[in-house]
Homo-oligomer: A and B are copies of this chain.
Amino acid sequence: MHIHPLRAHIEEVLPLTDQEFDFILSHFTPLSKRKHQYLVQEGELVDKEHWVIKGCLKAYFFDQNGKEYIVQFAMENWWITDYEAFNNQVRASFSVDCIENCELLAIDYASREKLSSEMHKMERFWAKKTKLAFIASQKRILSLCRNTAKERYEMLLNQYPQLVQRVPKKMLASYLGVSRETLSRL
């Protein structure tokens, strides 16, 4: 008998009973998207946060010169949306696109709020996830200040080898904050 991947994911943080997990799962909607389709579009309201069952995505925007900035990638077991827009229920400043065909579980804002307030465990789970995301992003800041382009690329390669396989170099460059030419010259 196999365990649901979302359950496995949540149980990395805290244990659940079958009933609890069924209750949690009932708040999510499965969703399939093809490569190049979007989940969030800059300027629109963002009502959903997504958990990745399968596939690869990016959160990004273009500046006034058409240069792309990648805020976040997501692969299996990652969460993605425009968090500022989602949490404050305002218009998105980023878009979220599929880099590969994706299988997702989506939860809308009201369901997330309901689930958080009815079930302290989920509040704790999401709080834990947000803490980890915050710590990771502090590390990314330090890395931008401390390390050269090459070092940052090598660190990414060490930490997320599959990401480097699956994503065009050009996008890795945008994520790392270097030009694609510099990344190409490694």
Contacts and interface: CB of A to CB of B under 8 A. Distances in A.
Interface of A: 63, 69, 71-72, 83-84, 87, 116-117, 120, 123-124, 126-127, 130-131, 133-135, 137-138, 140-142, 144-146, 177
Contacts of A142: 69, 71
A43 to B, nearest CB: 17
A141 to B, nearest CB: 6
Contacts of A138: 71-72, 83-84, 137
A142 B63 CA distance: 11
B144 A177 contact: yes
A87 B145 contact: no
A181 B127 CA distance: 40
Copies of this chain = 2
Contacts of A144: 141, 144-145, 177
A69 B134 contact: no
Contact of A69 (B117, B133, B135, B146): B146
Nearest to A127: B127
Nearest to A140: B141
24 contacts: A69-B142, A71-B138, A71-B141, A83-B131, A83-B134, A83-B135, A84-B135, A84-B138, A87-B135, A116-B124, A116-B127, A117-B120, A123-B123, A123-B127, A126-B127, A127-B127, A130-B130, A130-B131, A134-B134, A134-B137, A140-B141, A141-B141, A144-B145, A145-B177
Contacts of A177: 144-145
